[in-house]
A and B are shown apart, each in its own frame.
Chain A
Amino acid sequence: MMSKKQLYIVIVGCGRLGSFLANKLSRDGHSVVILDIDKSKFENLSAEFSGFTIEGDAIESAVLKQAKIDKADAMISVTREDNANLMISQIAKKIYKVPKVMARIFDLKREEVFRQLGIETISSISIAGDVFLRSIRNFVTLPENEHIQ
């Protein structure tokens, strides 16, 4: 077990990515609260998860307050909606001064704009795209594939 500081982390969105992060971070010993509008999404959480769940729309100020966002060390917004992620992460960063704020963004053009606002945005499309590209470029440059034009 690595020795590290225990963080209070708020995660918004309990889909595949949100629940993956919540399970791993909870297992690492962090204190995790996860939010989703749809209660059935909490079924994605595994036995590794020992944090709290809150059912509600994080766009409503009252819901983020209930999650004690003002006390959070980190906030990760991974709902399926870009605009929701952008709004929630701006609220966390600008209003509640959460030290570490990250948002998942699908639209690459929008990602560029909001990165300028100081929001740490992560695009699963560009990350997956880079891996695919690197792999296909390696394939082309391998000596045994020289016959490929």
Chain B
Amino acid sequence: MNIIVVGGGKLVYFLARTFQSKGYDVTIINRENAECKWLARTLKATVVHGEGSSLQILEEAGAETADAILAVTPNDQDNLVICQLADMCFHVAKTMALVNDPDNEEVFSKLGISAAFSTTRIISSLIEQRAGFENIINLIPISEGKVNVTEVILEKDSPVIGKALKDIGFPENSLIASLIRRDNLIVPGGATILEVGDHLITITTPDSIGKVITVLTGDKNS
């Protein structure tokens, strides 16, 4: 897979390093000359110096053969135009943009960007969802928030302790994908009996997450 990442700073460095470790071919576009040199030396990635929203620079970065482009500059207008040019002029299949103003997330999707994500919104919803539930960790929204992956730790007062999964009345549109018990991963079945300290990895829709937490923790306020 060929990915073009446009932007700078620690974000681009760590993104590129993560993609490389997965075996993807990464090309970085960055407008600062000194940072380009540093990135090229540290990551052994292809680095193109210039504006990501210039057709010539996109072409130099190999946009014609890229599978995806990720625009993560601090300017929403640049991220939008980078993705639109990649789509219209080079037919890049996946165009993804960082949105700085959370209100622009909707704007980007209306203007045809396949995925726009706002770090402000993700972090604030993480904090909101976590506050008050210390035994509920690690909420990852997938597919623009249509799916949540949630880890729930069962405490002593949980109403499901000692019960089999098939008997706890787990809500529709939700699933216990796996269970971690004393560092061992278990793929649970209907007969699996829940114990104190079990880490349940659940997959839910945003509508059913509240019911799932109520079933697992007995907390009616969720």
Give 1 or 0 for each of A108-124: 1 = CB within 8 Å of chain B CB.
Answer: 01100100110000000
Whether the pair B88, A59 counts as a contact (CB closer than 8 A) is no
Whether the pair B110, A95 counts as a contact (CB closer than 8 A) is yes
Whether, in the assembled complex, B77 has its beta carbon less than 8 Å from a beta carbon of chain A, the answer is: yes
Partner of A83, one of B80, B88, B107, B111: B80
Whether, in the assembled complex, A86 has its beta carbon less than 8 Å from a beta carbon of chain B, the answer is: yes
Whether the pair B76, A59 counts as a contact (CB closer than 8 A) is yes
Instruction: Provide the residues of chain A in CB contact with B78, threshold 8 Å.
Output: 83
Whether, in the assembled complex, B55 has its beta carbon less than 8 Å from a beta carbon of chain A, the answer is: yes
Whether the pair A60, B101 counts as a contact (CB closer than 8 A) is yes
Whether, in the assembled complex, A55 has its beta carbon less than 8 Å from a beta carbon of chain B, the answer is: no
Main secondary structure of the interface of A (DSSP, over half): helix
What's the nearest-Cβ distance from chain A to residue B134, in Å? 35
Instruction: Provide the residues of chain B in CB contact with A107, threshold 8 Å.
Output: 54
Whether, in the assembled complex, B148 has its beta carbon less than 8 Å from a beta carbon of chain A, the answer is: no
Instruction: Provide the residues of chain B in CB contact with A87, threshold 8 Å.
Output: 76-77, 80-81
What's the nearest-Cβ distance from chain B to residue A8, in Å? 22
**Closest A residue to B73 using CB positions:** A83
What's the nearest-Cβ distance from chain B to residue A103, in Å? 12
Whether, in the assembled complex, A81 has its beta carbon less than 8 Å from a beta carbon of chain B, the answer is: yes
Q: How many residues of A contact B (CB 8 A)?
A: 21
**Closest B residue to A90 using CB positions:** B111
Whether, in the assembled complex, A94 has its beta carbon less than 8 Å from a beta carbon of chain B, the answer is: yes
Total A-B residue contacts, Cβ distance less than 8 Å? 57
**Closest B residue to A109 using CB positions:** B55
Whether, in the assembled complex, B18 has its beta carbon less than 8 Å from a beta carbon of chain A, the answer is: no
Instruction: Provide the residues of chain B in CB contact with A141, threshold 8 Å.
Output: none
Instruction: Provide the residues of chain A in CB contact with B110, threshold 8 Å.
Output: 94-95
Instruction: Provide the residues of chain A in CB contact with B54, threshold 8 Å.
Output: 107, 109-110
Instruction: Provide the residues of chain B in CB contact with A90, threshold 8 Å.
Output: 80, 111
Whether the pair B85, A59 counts as a contact (CB closer than 8 A) is no
| Centre residue among B77, B80, B84 by max chain A CB count within 10 A | B77
Partner of A86, one of B75, B77, B107: B77
Docked pose: A90 CA to B111 CA in angstroms: 8
Whether the pair B111, A94 counts as a contact (CB closer than 8 A) is yes
Docked pose: A113 CA to B75 CA in angstroms: 20
Whether, in the assembled complex, B183 has its beta carbon less than 8 Å from a beta carbon of chain A, the answer is: no
Docked pose: A53 CA to B204 CA in angstroms: 48
Whether the pair B107, A110 counts as a contact (CB closer than 8 A) is no
Instruction: Provide the residues of chain A in CB contact with B214, threshold 8 Å.
Output: none
| Centre residue among A62, A113, A116 by max chain B CB count within 10 A | A113
Whether the pair B81, A110 counts as a contact (CB closer than 8 A) is yes
11 contacts between A and B (CB under 8 A): A59-B76, A83-B78, A83-B81, A86-B77, A86-B80, A86-B84, A87-B76, A87-B80, A107-B54, A110-B81, A110-B85
